[in-house]
Structure 1
Amino acid sequence: MRIGIFFGGPSREREISFAGGRTVYDNLDKSLFQAVPVFVDSHGNFILLDWQYLYKGTIRDFYPPVSALPPSELKLQVYLESLGELSVDEQDRIIAEVGRRLRPDELAGLMDFAFLALHGPAGEDGAIQGLLEWYGIPYSGSGILPSAFGIDKIAQKTLLHALNLPSPAFRVLTAEEFDAADPAALLAYVEKELGLPLVVKAPRQGSSIGVSIVRDADPAKFVAAVERSLFRRTVTREDWQRLGAQDRLAWAQHLTDIREGIGLPVVLDEFSAVSSQSPVTGNEDGLTTDNPQLTTNFIYHPEALLRALDERLTLQDSVRLTNTQGEQQVLLEAFVQGREFSCIVVEDVDGSPLALPPTEIVKGTEVFDYRSKYLPGMARKVTPIELPEADIQRIREQCEQLFRTFGFQVYARLDGFITDSGEIFLNDPNTTSGMLPASFFFHQAAEIGLNPSQFLTYIIRTSLAARRRGGLQPVKLGRQLRALDAAVASRQREQKPRTKVAVIMGGYSSERHISVESGRNIFEKLSSSAKYEPVPVFLTGSSESYELYVLPINVMLKDNADDIRDKVLHLSAGHGQHPVLERIRQAATNITHTYAAQSVAVPEKLSFEQLAQRVDEVFIALHGRPGEDGALQQQLERVGLPYNGSGAESSSITINKFETNKRLREAGLRVAEHRMASRLEWEADADAFYTSLESQFHYPFIAKPADDGCSSAVKKIKNRAELEAFCRLMFRDQEDLLEDAARTLSLGFKEEFPRKDAFLVETLISRDGARHFLEVTGGLLTHHRPDGGRDIEVFEASEALATGEVLSLEEKFLAGEGQNITPARYAPEAQERQRISDEVKAELKRVAEVLNIEGYARIDAFVRIRETGAVEVIIIEVNSLPGMTPATCIFHQTALAGYTPYDFIDQILEYGKSRKEELGVRS
């Protein structure tokens, strides 16, 4: 059955849609379905996407392609809309670089079913649903009417209040009313009506985009919140002149971010009186001029925005920027003080709603925002919510009632609050849920025993039944249902022997959450294959004593490593499952009996000897310590289990950045000047310690742990105060951060900072007069030769662009964040670019040879290209077990070499087996 997966789209949630579409593509049962990736661009074009682009980190990494970007001083990545108005021919040329344009009337010939992973307007508002019905294509989720209703928060509130269902009091504010009113008077009126705190929402957005909480009777904060929901921003001359050039760039990048800013294109409206000088007329930025007292200008590109603000704010007191697709209304809601939850409701096999166990969202910020929703470790998700069973049942019953009331079909995600007095408020129903591996969608389905692949099969089957009930081609869909049911039954009876692979994830370092993301991704890629049977294993404990637990699927899909650890320890201590889970699982037996291969189990503790009896080989998905330091490798070798990556000796070197740099320098490779800075030196005489470092390294320099990755505690130290703060945090005795030191280093919310007895100091690698200077990360794969030697395949490196001083955790791993261009842009001319690339790859290969790297690795470096054409590669660090999250750039690089992610993982596992066999022959 051909499944067209629709993802991307024009909404502000397009990056989560892109990541969710990739999850669906990877998890579709390959024995039942053939995936057809349909990328929807921000102009609404349908594109049959070449598979390798699915594994890019963000949409901007491949679309629009580099060749279509306008000349740019700052080399910023942008979305298609920043190219301005494009003709159909121009759009066709851009589309042809990543796939093939699909006309709507072609869709029915390419697919039997459309799986909608689109979000927001043009995704879950009934529009795409109507188009598919026009062409007779069945699709996932709710139909046209409930989808249109599900996107409109104002319509939802109106109906809830009309039916006397519990919902916060609300008011609707139009942009015109807001502009005409005095902010202080308007806030006083709203405060009288709704009270404070006040929730301010964009009424047709998801993922908490455009949402603010106003806690104080402060008109300025109220205005900022309303403007955020209208997707506009007022900029004053005073504020602009206060910013330096780098700060203005950072401000523009944040402002034009489609999730947290207002996005592009914008209309630039000027309201202050202009000087006697004539304003500048239209130019290449697309600026136009009308009445000098009120002009309207369209800005498409971030650099054009910077130029326009520099120019206009020399003439104007202020300007207002408004996104051309901004909202025209704002929803104002009374704040509900209570515990926040989210509940997935699915249709049972008979079409009746079944609420899955609700999840409590335990957050550290006042809004469960985009970052908290999608970056591992930012919020805790507790399933089921820790309440008496009767209260959980009331939540489920009200969610099921709302599902019926709104006429939802197949599935929906319902959010809400329960107050201390037990009152339940349901809020913001969603007809499409986020579909990242640990999203509520998969997370709650796992509690009844369905893994992502099985749940997707059930959603497709239930959607077919819903479309048939709605009258869409009942005879044809009836045949499809019978064929799918027969295929599912046959799949259940088929039990082919597969190679068992323990996927070890978790750990106890600051990289544990990313390790879980990597492990889950490996698990999903292997579980959808006919060759491997992955076994998820969680590692916890300490460096003195590892503890291994085989995870059931519901525990593996907890939000992050800490949630998994807590659940494992809870169940291992003999505490039973929550009684409501047993009740829900019993109610879901009609689903799980058909679609789940086995019932939900509890974590099982294993020794390494028992693991060797259970599985054939191991994939280590850990990062840093433990995992990359050789100790775990020694344990696996002891029990005869083959594993991925480098051997114990090489791993023990590459985990230590100081030792790695030392060996590379001795081999003639370029590395930064470096030294270890120890706690003993600092405690003996802190001032002498600081002076010693300052005499060897001029500010700014880099300070970082010598044996952690994922940008953990990597800081650019610019002065003595920052150096002192870094040392106090690194050498602290307490677990909690020191607040004043954390402020000095501008640590982000929930940013972790490890405690160590020493850290690494390096010179800051700079351009040093080079013609071109860039940061790259390059992956490699080793192959065994028949003669016993090995070949090293080095992939095209990715160019990594940091928006801050160093690449952040978000830029590396949060869907839609980060800028990675593959292959790296060493030069504009293809021949020169390839010459430089070949030189860089030769240096990376030398690194692998010097350090005896095996299996695969990722090497980070800076590249300088001199006016003479000479190439200098300065090695930063080596990762022997690089991140394997769905969007990590090593998958971009392997795709260029023709490897799908599964092919790449398979090669890694095969190398581990061949290494064990070779060692066996030698012994």
Structure 2
Amino acid sequence: MSSDTTTPSPGRRPRVAVVFGGRSSEHAISVVTAGAVLSAIDRTKYDVLPIGITADGRWALTADDPQRMAITDRRLPSVAELTESADGTVLLPVDPASREVVYTEPGNVPKVLGDVDVVFPMLHGPYGEDGTLQGLLELSGVPYVGSGVLASAVGMDKEYMKRVFVSFGLPVGPYEVIRPREWDRDPAAARKKIVDFAAEHGWPVFVKPARAGSSMGISKVDSLAGVDEAVAEARRHDPKIIIESLLSGREIECGVLEFEDGPRASVPAEIPPVTSHDFYDFEAKYIDSATGIVPAPLTEAETAEVQRLAVRAFEAASCEGLVRADFFLQDDGEFVINEINTMPGFTPISMYPRMWQESGVSYPELVDRLLQAALSRSTGLR
């Protein structure tokens, strides 16, 4: 199934709707990411329509002002600060035969904003990166950058991501899942699952929201005394939590990008130990701007292996466009995949663009390649 309106009319530049913000705890990081993309899009090649989703879920017309979308003096930006109206709403088309976007304000005649040819969904976390937005765009018949509904959902849910990886023969670390009903009905039994897991694999363990990113809600727990507080913090972001063991070794990341002949892997990067933080958490990543080493100091054989595994993970989850795959290189020389991110951090200093910059694809070229790939794909089953 495909739409017959994929190609813009002759003489008209393709129009890109950059959608960002959203209802997840990663709202601010999405704004930062979108600001970088807005700065990089070639305005001689594309028309751009910035659309922000507020923290309460309203689709709003925003200022096209990347400078206001950066982290400044440790202050995180928000869509609300960028909106042109406190109650105006942007409406996507609901008819796959139309690409017309409409803006409405109470008491005013709806304003037609014109057609949109492709969406660049710069959302992180639930209600954006997890297949929900992708499903909406499929229903609307509008092409978009990145993975489809299934791959996005798999890439967001750490439990099912690991299950898919195992079914494709990819190595994963030990983990345990606590589902919402388990903790709500019998917290003592759920707590015992965590204690039993730690007894088998050792303290510390990491308690994480199963469906969140940017290291939001993650706690490193050294003993039973810290379990309840860690679970409460994780459940602030997601009622389903995942427990993972500490994997000794080096943190290695690798980018995957889809080319005409299939997905290719970038040079890998290494995230060195963060001495000022207990682990590579949100503060280390985005506030203190801890940086990785690109390219990672690996042997040729190690580089080839992590690149192979990254592409394998991309294909296992049926991904499209782009993925950042995160690994641990263990002390025994074996790689274990931790997770994939179907819409990784995308500022120029983020690891995914840096890995591709080192691989010969500049940031503007990366943005353009993703947009062109999305424009060449139809929506619907594929």
Same fold by TM-score greater than 0.5: yes
What is the match of residue 117 of structure 2? 112
Contact 2:256 2:311 in 1 (8 A): yes
2: CA distance, partners of 1:183 / 1:145: 29
Question: What residue identity is the alignment partner of 1:230?
Answer: R
User: Of the candidates 13, 23, 34, which is equivalent to residue 10 of structure 1?
Assistant: 23
What is the match of residue 55 of structure 1? 68
Alignment of 1:151 with 2:156, yes or no, is: yes
Matches within 5 A, 1:711-750: none
Cα 1:60–1:180 shift into 2, 3 Å: closer
How far apart are residue 358 of structure 1 and its match? 0.9
Q: 1:177 aligns to what SS in structure 2?
A: helix
Question: What residue identity is the alignment partner of 1:441?
Answer: Y
2: CA distance, partners of 1:385 / 1:139: 31
How far apart are residue 328 of structure 1 and its match? 1.9
What is the match of residue 374 of structure 1? 286
Cα 1:354–1:52 shift into 2, 3 Å: closer
User: Of the candidates 129, 144, 150, which is equivalent to residue 139 of structure 1?
Assistant: 144
2: CA distance, partners of 1:62 / 1:448: 32
Matches within 5 A, 1:578-657: none
Alignment of 1:357 with 2:246, yes or no, is: no
Question: What residue identity is the alignment partner of 2:316?
Answer: T
User: Of the candidates 161, 165, 182, which is equivalent to residue 160 of structure 1?
Assistant: 165
1:598-629 Cα offsets, whole Å, 9 max, x none, are: xxxxxxxxxxxxxxxxxxxxxxxxxxxxxxxx
What is the match of residue 87 of structure 1? none
Cα 1:418–1:52 shift into 2, 3 Å: closer
Q: 1:207 aligns to what SS in structure 2?
A: coil
Question: What residue identity is the alignment partner of 1:401?
Answer: R
How far apart are residue 195 of structure 1 and its match? 2.4
2: CA distance, partners of 1:469 / 1:355: 25
Matches within 5 A, 1:118-129: 118-129=123-134
What is the match of residue 198 of structure 1? 205
How far apart are residue 453 of structure 1 and its match? 1.2
How far apart are residue 21 of structure 1 and its match? 0.8
Contact 2:63 2:84 in 1 (8 A): no
How far apart are residue 223 of structure 1 and its match? 1.8
What is the match of residue 102 of structure 1? 90
What is the match of residue 425 of structure 1? 336
Cα 1:393–1:56 shift into 2, 3 Å: closer
2: CA distance, partners of 1:391 / 1:148: 30
Contact 2:206 2:245 in 1 (8 A): yes
Aligned residues: 345
Q: 2:206 aligns to what SS in structure 1?
A: strand
What is the match of residue 404 of structure 1? 315
1: CA distance, partners of 2:291 / 2:15: 37
Question: What residue identity is the alignment partner of 1:3?
Answer: V
Contact 2:219 2:230 in 1 (8 A): yes
How far apart are residue 464 of structure 1 and its match? 2.5
How far apart are residue 375 of structure 1 and its match? 3.5
Q: 2:256 aligns to what SS in structure 1?
A: strand
Question: What residue identity is the alignment partner of 1:125?
Answer: D
Cα 1:27–1:56 shift into 2, 3 Å: closer
What is the match of residue 221 of structure 1? 226
TM-score under structure 1 length normalisation: 0.36
Question: What residue identity is the alignment partner of 1:120?
Answer: G
Matches within 5 A, 1:467-616: 467-468=377-378
2: CA distance, partners of 1:8 / 1:211: 21
Question: What residue identity is the alignment partner of 1:166?
Answer: P
What is the match of residue 335 of structure 1? 246
Question: What residue identity is the alignment partner of 1:366?
Answer: D
2: CA distance, partners of 1:173 / 1:419: 26
Contact 1:212 1:225 in 2 (8 A): yes
2: CA distance, partners of 1:164 / 1:195: 25
Q: 2:101 aligns to what SS in structure 1?
A: helix
Contact 2:255 2:352 in 1 (8 A): yes
User: Of the candidates 179, 185, 188, which is equivalent to residue 181 of structure 1?
Assistant: 188
Larger proportion of helix: 1
How far apart are residue 57 of structure 1 and its match? 5.1
Matches within 5 A, 1:774-785: none
TM-score under structure 2 length normalisation: 0.83
How far apart are residue 64 of structure 1 and its match? 4.5
Cα 1:470–1:353 shift into 2, 3 Å: farther
Question: What residue identity is the alignment partner of 1:30?
Answer: R
What is the match of residue 21 of structure 1? 34
Question: What residue identity is the alignment partner of 1:102?
Answer: V
How far apart are residue 327 of structure 1 and its match? 1.9
2: CA distance, partners of 1:60 / 1:356: 30
1:186-212 Cα offsets, whole Å, 9 max, x none, are: 553222333222121100000011112
Consecutive unaligned residues of structure 2, counting only runs of 5 or more, are 1-13, 94-99, 103-113
1: CA distance, partners of 2:89 / 2:44: 28
Contact 2:52 2:59 in 1 (8 A): yes
Cα 1:25–1:177 shift into 2, 3 Å: same
1:549-589 Cα offsets, whole Å, 9 max, x none, are: xxxxxxxxxxxxxxxxxxxxxxxxxxxxxxxxxxxxxxxxx
User: Of the candidates 349, 352, 364, which is equivalent to residue 453 of structure 1?
Assistant: 364
How far apart are residue 37 of structure 1 and its match? 0.5
Q: 2:130 aligns to what SS in structure 1?
A: coil
Alignment of 1:344 with 2:255, yes or no, is: yes
Contact 1:53 1:98 in 2 (8 A): no
How far apart are residue 469 of structure 1 and its match? 8.3
Query: Among the aligned pairs, what percent are the same residue?
Result: 30
Matches within 5 A, 1:235-250: none
What is the match of residue 169 of structure 1? 174
Contact 2:164 2:316 in 1 (8 A): no
1: CA distance, partners of 2:279 / 2:366: 29
2: CA distance, partners of 1:371 / 1:60: 12
Consecutive unaligned residues of structure 1, counting only runs of 5 or more, are 66-93, 232-325, 473-923
1: CA distance, partners of 2:285 / 2:39: 21
What is the match of residue 563 of structure 1? none
Contact 2:194 2:243 in 1 (8 A): no
2: CA distance, partners of 1:343 / 1:177: 35
2: CA distance, partners of 1:184 / 1:448: 45
1: CA distance, partners of 2:346 / 2:16: 16
Question: What residue identity is the alignment partner of 1:44?
Answer: G
Cα 1:61–1:425 shift into 2, 3 Å: closer
1: CA distance, partners of 2:121 / 2:192: 44
1:652-684 Cα offsets, whole Å, 9 max, x none, are: xxxxxxxxxxxxxxxxxxxxxxxxxxxxxxxxx
1: CA distance, partners of 2:16 / 2:87: 17
1:840-884 Cα offsets, whole Å, 9 max, x none, are: xxxxxxxxxxxxxxxxxxxxxxxxxxxxxxxxxxxxxxxxxxxxx
- CA RMSD of superposed structures (Å): 2.5
How far apart are residue 111 of structure 1 and its match? 1.4
What is the match of residue 304 of structure 2? 393
2: CA distance, partners of 1:456 / 1:15: 20
- Higher RCO (CA 8 Å, separation ≥ 6 residues): 2
Question: What residue identity is the alignment partner of 2:300?
Answer: E
How far apart are residue 451 of structure 1 and its match? 2.1
How far apart are residue 176 of structure 1 and its match? 4.4
User: Of the candidates 46, 59, 62, which is equivalent to residue 59 of structure 2?
Assistant: 46
Cα 1:25–1:421 shift into 2, 3 Å: same
How far apart are residue 51 of structure 1 and its match? 2.9
How far apart are residue 165 of structure 1 and its match? 2.2
Cα 1:115–1:63 shift into 2, 3 Å: closer
2: CA distance, partners of 1:56 / 1:145: 30
2: CA distance, partners of 1:53 / 1:391: 38
Contact 2:208 2:218 in 1 (8 A): yes
